[in-house]
A and B are shown apart, each in its own frame.
Chain A
């Protein structure tokens, strides 16, 4: 077994295990909320429904997990005599596995949720945001979109992790200040809005199929930048 395979297997195991722990907690919380809405439905004349927004939560989990895990995992694998190249490439591959796993979980959750809504509330009115943005979408194209978007999100996290590892707290402070300020300025800028629409292929025919291409190209660029940051990086403790 090559060192790359060992690193990959180690990283996939860790990520899959963490994902299932996350899933366990999330399912428990959703079950409680479901019961609450059921209870509310049975004690009032109004109509209740429930949407777990699994994909958004999964995306946040993927983003935070990759960042939180970056430094400790890199140092740990380096201590066991693995090269930066093997650690990085195995991280990239395991991030793709994580993205696909989260995409499958989100889809399965969505299917179960529709079935439950239909069964419990006798309604199939559950809102699908992707379907609202891309009217021509179906489950297959939505899965493709979600998978590519998750790959992009984990590539952003990897770049964040690599730069935070390299520059330490200075980078973290600057990043989060800039991130916070972006919420004040970006919505006011028509250029940013146009770029955003173009990137997500909003309003473009077959946009849900074209947007994933943009996501993958962007994630490739981010991974190349991350690799450049990692390649000659001294170990930081």
Chain B
């Protein structure tokens, strides 16, 4: 039996001339939180829609919990995918939507959902169409967390939420994950604040998977090397440079590769400064349009 709960092989999906997903092969393990990171139009939502059978890939294979995922009820019953777009019935009240979710998700915890509604200050008597953008996101969060689905997917879950509510979401996610481990895929633009939640990051660019790495490793691999241009050029020669810029007389290069302690010492002794790259910056460098794919 495969160690992965979700496996995709060479997925491709085009819309006319635009290749939204290209040769996407990945395996996701049980009980991990994955961050799906990519710029607008990188193919994140298309990928999520394919694995949840909302749309069909042009070619390739998706296996969920060992099943072929395409229109497979056994597989789809184990997923809770809360999309960014509005798919709720507008005239339904929040309480009705929660009851419907409880019908369809076998492990749905209604008590927990009610507690979350109170914590997030979501009135269950309100109609969906009366909710603000932030509360629309909150109802998705409540259903996703309370579904206890073995694979829970959030597409941009914190859209329209203020910093305090976003923080509450991350804390609830971690707390519930610790007591009810399962696999999460969270697609988001707010990388810096959510990076600590993810165990692994999947970085997508132009429909391709650019990187799949544990977040800690990602942070360790990314370093700024700065100093005099000649010193920096010598120091980073042969390295995987993902970004470089001049600030006055100082040249700053962002390198992305595993650097041994010895290499780091050499860089420092050569006169270059070495410092960590914030995850958000690294994400920007890895997905820059003029940046070559680093695979």
Q: Give the residues in chain B near A232, CB-CB below 8 Å.
A: 56
Q: Is A42 an interface residue (CB 8 A)?
A: no
Q: Is B72 an interface residue (CB 8 A)?
A: yes
Q: Give the residues in chain A near B88, CB-CB below 8 Å.
A: 76, 79
Residues 60 to 115 of chain A near chain B (Cβ within 8 Å): 72-73, 75-76, 78-86
Contact of B87 among A9, A10, A79 (CB under 8 A): A79
Q: Is A3 an interface residue (CB 8 A)?
A: yes
Distance to closest chain A CB from B44 (angstroms): 16
Interface size class of B (residues with CB under 8 A): 20 to 34
Q: Is A44 an interface residue (CB 8 A)?
A: no
Q: Please, how many angstroms separate the alpha-carbon atoms of A201 and B78 in the complex? A: 50
User: Contact: A234 with B55, CB < 8 Å?
Assistant: yes
Q: Please, how many angstroms separate the alpha-carbon atoms of A73 and B90 in the complex? A: 11
Q: Is A184 an interface residue (CB 8 A)?
A: no
Q: Is B54 an interface residue (CB 8 A)?
A: yes
Distance to closest chain B CB from A71 (angstroms): 10
Q: Please, how many angstroms separate the alpha-carbon atoms of A232 and B57 in the complex? A: 11
Among the 9-residue stretches B22-30, B98-106, B167-175, B277-285, the one with 4 or more Cβ atoms under 8 Å from chain A is B98-106
Q: Is A235 an interface residue (CB 8 A)?
A: yes
Q: Give the residues in chain A near B81, CB-CB below 8 Å.
A: 79, 81
User: Contact: B100 with A84, CB < 8 Å?
Assistant: no
Q: Which of A10, A83, A232 has the most CB atoms of chain B within a 10 A radius of its CB? A: A83
Q: Is A6 an interface residue (CB 8 A)?
A: yes
User: Contact: B76 with A81, CB < 8 Å?
Assistant: yes
* Given known contacts A10-B100, A75-B87, A76-B89, A81 and B56 CB-to-CB distance under 8 angstroms: no
Q: Please, how many angstroms separate the alpha-carbon atoms of A185 and B78 in the complex? A: 53
Q: What is the chain A residue whose CB lies nearest that of B79? A: A81
Distance to closest chain B CB from A57 (angstroms): 22
Please, what's the 1-or-0 string for A131-146, where 1 marks a CB less than 8 Å from any CB in chain B?
0000000000000000
SS class, residues of chain B in contact with chain A: loop
Q: What is the chain A residue whose CB lies nearest that of B82? A: A79
Q: Give the residues in chain A near B78, CB-CB below 8 Å.
A: 81
Q: Is B3 an interface residue (CB 8 A)?
A: no
Q: What is the chain B residue whose CB lies nearest that of A73? A: B89
Q: Is A237 an interface residue (CB 8 A)?
A: yes
Q: Give the residues in chain B near A235, CB-CB below 8 Å.
A: 49, 54-55
Please, what's the 1-or-0 string for A213-237, where 1 marks a CB less than 8 Å from any CB in chain B?
0000000000000000000101101
* Given known contacts A72-B90, A237-B85, A81 and B71 CB-to-CB distance under 8 angstroms: no
Contact of B54 among A6, A72, A73, A78 (CB under 8 A): A78
Q: Count of chain A residues with Cβ under 8 Å from any Cβ of B? A: 21
Q: Please, how many angstroms separate the alpha-carbon atoms of A9 and B78 in the complex? A: 20
* Given known contacts A234-B55, A237-B85, A84 and B71 CB-to-CB distance under 8 angstroms: yes
Distance to closest chain B CB from A230 (angstroms): 11
Q: Please, how many angstroms separate the alpha-carbon atoms of A232 and B73 in the complex? A: 15
Please, what's the 1-or-0 string for B83-97, where 1 marks a CB less than 8 Å from any CB in chain A?
101111110000000
Q: Give the residues in chain B near A79, CB-CB below 8 Å.
A: 81-83, 87-88
Q: Give the residues in chain A near B79, CB-CB below 8 Å.
A: 81
User: Contact: B87 with A81, CB < 8 Å?
Assistant: no
Q: Please, how many angstroms separate the alpha-carbon atoms of A81 and B56 in the complex? A: 15
Q: Give the residues in chain A near B31, CB-CB below 8 Å.
A: none
Distance to closest chain B CB from A33 (angstroms): 28
User: Contact: B73 with A86, CB < 8 Å?
Assistant: yes
Q: Give the residues in chain B near A73, CB-CB below 8 Å.
A: 89
User: Contact: B55 with A82, CB < 8 Å?
Assistant: no
Q: Give the residues in chain A near B100, CB-CB below 8 Å.
A: 10, 76, 80
Q: Give the residues in chain B near A83, CB-CB below 8 Å.
A: 53, 71-73, 76
Q: Give the residues in chain B near A9, CB-CB below 8 Å.
A: 103
Q: Is B259 an interface residue (CB 8 A)?
A: no
Q: What is the chain B residue whose CB lies nearest that of A9? A: B103
User: Contact: B55 with A10, CB < 8 Å?
Assistant: no
Q: Is B255 an interface residue (CB 8 A)?
A: no
* Given known contacts A83-B72, A86-B73, A10 and B103 CB-to-CB distance under 8 angstroms: yes
10 contacts between A and B (CB under 8 A): A3-B104, A73-B89, A76-B87, A79-B81, A79-B83, A82-B73, A83-B71, A83-B72, A85-B71, A235-B55
Q: In the A-B complex, list the 4 residue pairs whose CB atoms are closest, starting with the nearest.
A: A80-B104, A234-B55, A235-B54, A81-B76
